[in-house]
Amino acid sequence: MSGTQSGPERGPEATPETALGTTPERAPETALGTTPQPVPDPERAATVAARAELVRQIEAGGRLRDPRWRAAFEDVPRHLFVPYYFVATPRGYQRLSGSDPDPQRRLRWLDGVYTDTALATCMRDGEVVSSSSQPSLMAMMLEALRVEEAEDQRPDTGCRVLEIGTGTGYNAALLAHRLGADRVTTVDLDEEITGPARDRLATAGHRPAVVTGDGSLGCPDRAPYDRIIATCALPSVPPAWIAQCTPGALVLAPLATGLVALRVTDPEAVRAEGRFLHTPAYFVPLRARTEPTTPPESPALEGQHPGSRHGIPRETLRDDRFHFLRTLTAASLTPGEAHALWQQENHPHRERFGVTVHRTRQYAWLDSPEGPHRWALPAG
């Protein structure tokens, strides 16, 4: 149905507010004919207040203009999907958990969960392989999907979304709350990630399709999709995603420390094109079962003192917009050439850049796909 919102389908599991690693107290028995009084649960009250404050902050920052997405953030408990996370310390990563026996450490965990920041949730050999994205960035990305357009165009089927990068399952829960679980498919590479996410989603009352597989291949069994959203950084856009879309679909993906929104013009010919949004975006890289054949050159200039080697001023190296340009053009331009373009084009913002995808090639561009500034992206 068009424009409908699917609320949580509560099962027999514990409610999210009590799934904190603690056992809620039972109300004391009362005399016959009297009304039992609920036992105060300070931790539940703390989670409700913390979630409300996070939503208020996101809204104050100009996000969550759509009341249906606001309702999703109000109703879906982030702490259920982040039962623990890792924080960097001088001695390495420290694990904070909602089931820690120390109440002060539990409060630190809860405070971090409802802070507007990304959280490392899965470590492997000292590297972060999965995380819970910054909530305000998630809100911006979800609103940028424009799911209401697809709902208006397909009132009988609604908007079907494929998410690449399940992570904790929190973003899939927000999508399921807004669209209905039957319209959401989410993919991640390892059962180590998808298994717990599937369980947390079920506990929260949402049962989207959670698929363990190579995200770069999409999920053809449940195609076609009206929207694809990726929560992992890409060197280029996998052609399989475009081919699994409906005509006019939107693909939103992190690329070169930015977010590109591609409109699919011809799925059969694998054609899509679009511009970057204004915001910076840093995500854990997409992990695939096979490595790309032409990985992009790493533009890690900051620690190499390139100012003296390439004549690039330090203040330019510290500018996030230059880092974006350098990353986007790393396979085509030298640092010096990127700096010359940066000066020539008056320090261009992300919105001036875009990407065009064809079946066998794709390229980034500045201002216009037919303009003089175009750079090939690695083969998908």
Task: Compute the Cα dihedral for 124, 127, 129, 132 and give only its sign.
Answer: positive
Buried b (16+ CB within 10 A) or exposed e, 68-85: bbbbbbbbbbbbbbbbeb
CA distance 301 to 318: 10
CB 236, CB 293: distance < 8 Å = no
Residues 6+ apart with CB under 8 A from 330: 296, 297, 298, 299
Annotation marks residue 132 as catalytic: no
CB 273, CB 263: distance < 8 Å = yes
Which of these is catalytic: 130, 131, 133, 136?
130
- Structure tokens given for 212: 């363990």
CA distance 299 to 309: 14
CA distance 76 to 112: 16
Catalytically annotated residues: 130
